[in-house]
Structure 1
Amino acid sequence: MAKRFEDKVVVVTGGSDGIGLASAQRFAQEGARVYITGRRQDLLDEAVVRIGHGAVGVRGDVTSLADLASLYERVGRDHGRVDVVFANAGMHQPVPLEAIEETHFDATFGLNVKGLLFTVQKALPLMEQGGSIVLNGSIAGSKAYPGQSLYNASKAAVRSFARSWTIDLKDRGIRVNVVSPGATETRLLRSFLDSAPGIQDEVVRGVPLGRLGHLEEVAAAVLYLASSESSFVAGHELFVDGGVAAV
């Protein structure tokens, strides 16, 4: 396997499960010094073992600025820099428009928007010329999926951040891009698909390639955007969705 991230310092938020974990594993396999975050210590500890290669787990919630400060203080003490940030932590909470309450708004925008923003902002003092930031968006930021307008809007904000931050950080040589998965075989999606008969068939019918995505496919896109192979790619949204957004 290529060692595109040999001795690079990589931070992955929400790295104890799903896309975050799959990406952290790939970063580590390609030589990175990986730091992951998560709110549950037990899942974090399990993920660190699965990642191997000296990965470090730092328990914390990205909606807490104090927790983010502790994360980057640890990375700064260990290495003095951050080369790649994959701002992955997020949540999916479908709520019909008529049922949305303030608590739903605060939870979704608190994690998907506020948490992502400060994950990036607090990393900047440690980032140098040539750094890369990858934001985890979603096809839902571009498609109007019913019953989840809050989630859709939160991911549209992520897409907007990438555009703005590309301009804000261009003089520092830091690139910002978005990976936007479609329906991907994660533990959370599997629990949803298994909740009622016929749901998976309905989801798959809407995918031109006729199947769900795999975690490894999204992770490969994340690493491409984070690597020097995409050195002239900035402010871009890469859909990993089997063709849903394009067709």
Structure 2
Amino acid sequence: MVDVSDVAQIAPAVERCAQKLGGLEGLALNVGISSGLSLPKMTAEAWDRDYAVNVRSHMLFAQKALEVMAPGGAIILISSMASQRAGGRNPAYESSKAAQIALGRAIARAGEDKGIRCNVIAPGFMDTPMGRDASRRRSDRAVTVPFGRQGTGWEVAYTALFLISNESSYVNAHTLFLDAGHMGGIVRS
């Protein structure tokens, strides 16, 4: 267990994983929090906490992984469809998830010399504890979801498996919106 908001814990965690696994060929960064505060209610402490977990920890994990990762490895970040819209009235979460997309491109650029790829998955409405909390705060949150349902963790996992595998060896610095077409205008009426 690692407290990703504690800078001192991140590099040793990556080193332990690489040692126990006999090397590091892939890294999936799937951690995120949300204070759920609107801009008028946002505090500096809540903003900094969301950014420390959602962006800074990803940068530090990737930084260390690029040092120890085998050539040809892959890193994926889990962002959110919220990175592209202000619909959730949750600016720290939305902007930190947008920052992850830019960070993913920076990681891909930094990994180029070793052939290490980085891609980002940006799920849409997902049936997760955080998604359920958001739906409780806004009952209309998912009324336009394509296919009449939210996505599942398995759907994100299978996408991550593809992007971290050699099957996607020429996919790099890409953001895949895993949203059933919602961002493309496919909405339930």
Q: Could you state the TM-score of these two structures normalised by the residue count of structure 1?
A: 0.70
In the alignment, structure 2 segments of 5+ residues that lack a partner are: none
- Determine which of 170, 173, 182 is the counterpart of 2:115: 173
How much is the aligned-residue C-alpha RMSD, in angstroms? 1.7
Shift of residue 192, structure 1, vs aligned partner: 4.4
In the alignment, structure 1 segments of 5+ residues that lack a partner are: 1-58
User: Which deviations, in whole Å up to 9, do the C-alpha atoms of 1:42-81 show, x marking residues without a partner?
Assistant: xxxxxxxxxxxxxxxxx11112222113312322332442
User: Which deviations, in whole Å up to 9, do the C-alpha atoms of 1:122-146 show, x marking residues without a partner?
Assistant: 2222101110000010001112224
* Alignment map for 1:3-152 (pairs within 5 Å): 59-152=1-94
CA contact (8 A) 2:71 2:116 kept: yes
Matching residue of 2:161: 223
Matching residue of 1:189: 131
Q: Aligned AA for 2:173?
A: G
Q: Aligned AA for 1:170?
A: E
- Larger RCO, structures 1/2 (Cα 8 Å, 6+ apart): 2
Higher helix share: 2
Q: Aligned AA for 2:156?
A: V
Q: Could you state the TM-score of these two structures normalised by the residue count of structure 2?
A: 0.90
Distance 1:73-1:167 versus aligned 2 partners, 3 A rule: closer
Q: Aligned AA for 2:75?
A: I
C-alpha distance in 2, partners of 1:129/1:171? 9
Shift of residue 109, structure 1, vs aligned partner: 0.6
CA contact (8 A) 1:207 1:243 kept: no
How many residue pairs match? The answer is: 185
* Counterpart secondary structure, 2:71: strand
Identity across the alignment (%): 33
Displacement over 4 Å in runs of 4+ = none
Shift of residue 169, structure 1, vs aligned partner: 1.5
C-alpha distance in 1, partners of 2:51/2:133? 23
